[in-house]
A and B are shown apart, each in its own frame.
Chain A
Amino acid sequence: MADPRHRSLLTAAACSVLLVCATLLSGTTTLAGPSRAAAAAPGASAEEPACGPALVTRTLSTGSAWRMCTRIHPFKGLVLEDVQFRSATGTGDDQGWLRVIGSLYLAQLNVPYDTGTDVFDDITGIGFGNDRLLTQTPETCDGDALPVEQSFMVGSKLVERTIPGICVREAETGLAWHSQEGWATTSDRYAQQGRALEVSSLSKAGWYEYQQKVTLTDQGTITVGLGAAGDLAPSEGFFRTDPAFGWPIGPNEDEDSDRHAGSHWHNAIYRVDFAIGSGDQQVEEWDYEGDPAFPTRVRGEGTIRDEAFIAEDPPATTWWRVVNPTALNADGHPRSYEIVNDAIQNPYLPLTRPPLSFTNDHPCQEYASSNLNAGCPGQSVLDYVASETKPLTEPVAWVSVGYHHIPRDEDQSPMPVHWQSFSLAPRDLLAQQALTPAERTCDNGLTTGAGGSCAAINVAAPAIAAGNSPPGAGTLLTADSGTWRRARELLAYEWLWLRDGEPILATGDDGLPSAATGETYRLTDADIGRQITVRVTASATGVTPGIATSAPFVAPLPTPPVTNPARTAPELKLKILKKGDRRGRPRLRIVVRGDQGGGAGVVTIQRRGKVVTAALSDGRVTVRLPRPGKRYRVTVSYPGDQWYLAATATIRVRR
């Protein structure tokens, strides 16, 4: 059901622009107004992140928006802090900026080759910043390449550079949502393409080059990906004879030759510090248990994990979310983010085997292993969990995302990017999805699945038809209602006629001004040559009203004679010929001539109140006049044609 409080606000907002609100509101008409987001009371919006030039704020073309601080750390590479989301259509407490992530970065990239002889820690051993950061070019970034200011010491000298180092772009995500409850028709179909903000950087760590990419969708989902490219490890030292440790690359040679490119793992571990609203957060684990006697029956149970833990070999159905019990969405549900980690993990290392671990947020716990912070030197996630003594109220997730790279022929230079990723999916962050169209705003809770639109949505504008042609004063105009999406309730329509965009007022039987309403309207002199439109308001109980306006109808002014702006004055000559006709009646020669030759059309001859016309031929005509009993005057008028202006001449006729 629509909120009646919202409805009254809508009505008042819309009426403020009309002259006749008092009249209209006295009936049952309700006019639609601004979007519901603007009309509803706003929720508390997070403060803007304080990071100056590193602040990235983007409103996607679908209306949702993200903002965050971005930078390149000398070792970690791309770091996002204070990540905030604003939905396109959230209302009430779901409006405005919602803080969701405190910080997010790649906390280790462990690369062991399957031979066991070579292991690289690309974050804590090599680093992704400083001169390992690669410059963004139009080939790598078709969005905005943000400048990254870098500096470090070389000997006693401080050196610096500023390069385009962070790529920010809007990307398509495909079909974002779809619903079609009307089986036989598409009139009930709701669908939209989705968009996402991508924030990425490129780093070179030896022969491998990595794209760190965070994709933030218009639905609030955050996907954290690591794309590996560059080149395979050099054959010297990394190509072996034993096929157990690699894959044959290149032309076939002797089976015993060193031609097997070394297989290896990319063991990425991310550190995610959640910041869903303010106050303590919790980690909730959901486990499911089947019933052997009733295999389709599955019972789920949620448990608050109040101590740091390592998710060791969890069932595939178990999942976790970070929830803030005091940050509620517009429906009163606690906001949370679910960790969706469908990646594989390297099962042979205690550090990488768990898909997920949780600790509290300790500043010294910066890296997932070989920790470089002096407060917890050399430690790993395993140590962090073991040493945690406090309840889990400031959760940091350590997400293990593995990729076992078994080289292929196709992986040779330049290596196609291969990806490993996990996602953070909003769960009850909002009362409804972030792009809920007006047609589905009332589809919340027990009304889920009901057919028909929650809002009056116009599909085809109303049309005006004239009762006669050509139209003029007195013509009866008739308007239809236009075409509207099927709504949950039968729509009722109100018509309001407008002249040049303003309501047409007339004096009613009571002597008071009243608006021209109804399906018909009769044109008056005041309407001729003006734009007449009709505004149709569609409404029903429980349906957000909608407005549609017709195309303008214009009753044309009388058509003026065709004029030639270059017309000139002709010479109108009148002459009584010396010789009358056989009966002695005088003959009048009329000549209309100018710079374009003889005039065309007719001349009008007036004499004593009588009018006759005569057609010109090559600009001349001779007419007979009555025999004069006494003198009289003849006036000849030429109305003009496309070349000549009008002219008049008079001549006296004597006896």
Chain B
Amino acid sequence: MPRHLLASAVAAVVLVAGSLFLLWTPSPGAPAHGSASSSDEFEVAGDGTLPEKRPPLREQGAPLSTAERGYAIGLALASLPDSGRDVLDEARAEVLAADLPAVDLRDGRRRVQVTAYDYDDDRLHQILLDLPTGRVISEEALTGVQPPPSTAETQVALDLALTAMPAPAFVDQFRQLTGAPLLAADEVRVIGAAWAPEDGGGSSATRTCGTERCVQLLVALPSGQYLSTDDFVVNLSRRAVTLFPPGGHRHG
């Protein structure tokens, strides 16, 4: 599938009337308690854009506020090469995480470690930021390290699997169980997992996973029943779905 089609497909699925469609909605409808929001769904923060102005900063060991995290992500993305591409092929790296660094790296200050994946060159970037000054403390780039996939990456992987030819087994299994074809990603629930073959293992099609960004999917019906998804892996870097031969080992 062309990249621009993927991007539009994900955007349509992900953002519905300003509210995020959950890839996995834990305990739908479960009443929240405590002082938190009554909803457990993610929603777009404000207009969704990243704050450019430094927000009020919390104590150095406090969890990041949404504004702090957004501000840090903006600083991190600005420090990366302009050639960066995310999983939607937009002109920025794919942000995978932004959180407090190890205690020793905080130096008593409000600092954030941002991890992002650049699909342009399949490199992982890790940027340590000092929020009070907005300064980049360190930036490292490397290949071969694959953190858990982001929401968008998981969604793209599912879209690729749905349109793959030949189709993975879960597509037909869905039809058998529901009596209807699986046409859209929002008819199932999915969790993505970073995937790489064991050392020295894998077929020629999957051997690049690890250096490239690959994802396996755990797909379930809305009822919670899991479908069989152990017969394929999605290479996001190549936008390719690789089917394992029957009885083949996914690892090693």
Which residues in A have some Cβ–Cβ distance to B below 8 Å? Answer: 49-54, 69, 71-75, 81-82, 102-103, 116-121, 124-127, 130-138, 141, 144-165, 204-207, 231, 233-234, 236-238, 273, 361, 363-364, 366, 370-375, 377-378
Contact = CB atoms under 8 A, between A and B. Distances in A.
B122 to A, nearest CB: 14
A151 B151 CA distance: 12
B151 A163 contact: no
6 contacts: A145-B32, A148-B63, A164-B34, A204-B24, A206-B226, A236-B228
A222 to B, nearest CB: 18
Contact of A116 (B27, B32, B86, B252): B252
Contact of B103 (A103, A137, A159): A103
Sort A-B residue pairs by CB-CB distance and give the 9 closest, nearest first: A236-B228, A157-B48, A51-B61, A363-B102, A52-B62, A374-B140, A234-B226, A164-B34, A374-B126
A375 B140 CA distance: 8
A378 B34 contact: no
A103 to B, nearest CB: 6
Given A51-B62, A74-B148, A378-B144, 11 more contacts: A50-B60, A75-B148, A120-B193, A149-B66, A152-B95, A152-B151, A156-B92, A159-B42, A231-B224, A363-B105, A374-B140
Given A51-B59, A54-B63, A163 B37 contact: yes
Nearest to A76: B99
Interface of B: 7, 10-11, 14-15, 20, 22-24, 26-27, 30-37, 39-46, 48-50, 58-66, 69-70, 73, 86, 88, 90, 92, 95, 97-105, 115, 124-126, 140-142, 144-148, 150-152, 169, 173, 191-195, 198, 218, 220, 224-231, 249-252
Contacts of B41: 161
Q: Is the interface of B mostly helix, strand, loop or mixed?
A: loop
Contact of A158 (B39, B45, B115, B126): B45
Nearest to B154: A131
Given A103-B103, A363-B101, A374 B145 contact: yes
Name the residue among A146, A150, A158, A371 with the largest chain B CB count within 10 angstroms: A158
A149 B73 contact: no
Contacts of A141: 33
Contacts of B141: 374
A473 B41 CA distance: 78
Given A127-B148, A154-B152, A160 B33 contact: no
A229 to B, nearest CB: 13
A138 B33 contact: yes
A100 to B, nearest CB: 15
Name the residue among A126, A135, A162, A363 with the largest chain B CB count within 10 angstroms: A135
Nearest to A230: B224
Contacts of B147: 75, 124, 127, 372
A373 B147 CA distance: 9
Nearest to B229: A237
Name the residue among A69, A118, A159 with the largest chain B CB count within 10 angstroms: A159
A159 B43 contact: yes
Contacts of A154: 14-15, 20, 42, 150-152
B49 to A, nearest CB: 7
Contacts of B195: 125
A508 B226 CA distance: 93
Name the residue among A102, A103, A162, A204 with the largest chain B CB count within 10 angstroms: A162
A132 B24 contact: yes
Given A52-B62, A74-B97, A152-B151, A119 B251 contact: yes
Nearest to B151: A154
B30 A137 contact: yes
A163 B124 contact: no
B48 A156 contact: yes
A138 B66 CA distance: 26
A517 B88 CA distance: 90
A532 to B, nearest CB: 53
Contacts of A205: 191
B62 A53 contact: yes
A54 B61 contact: yes
A146 B34 CA distance: 6
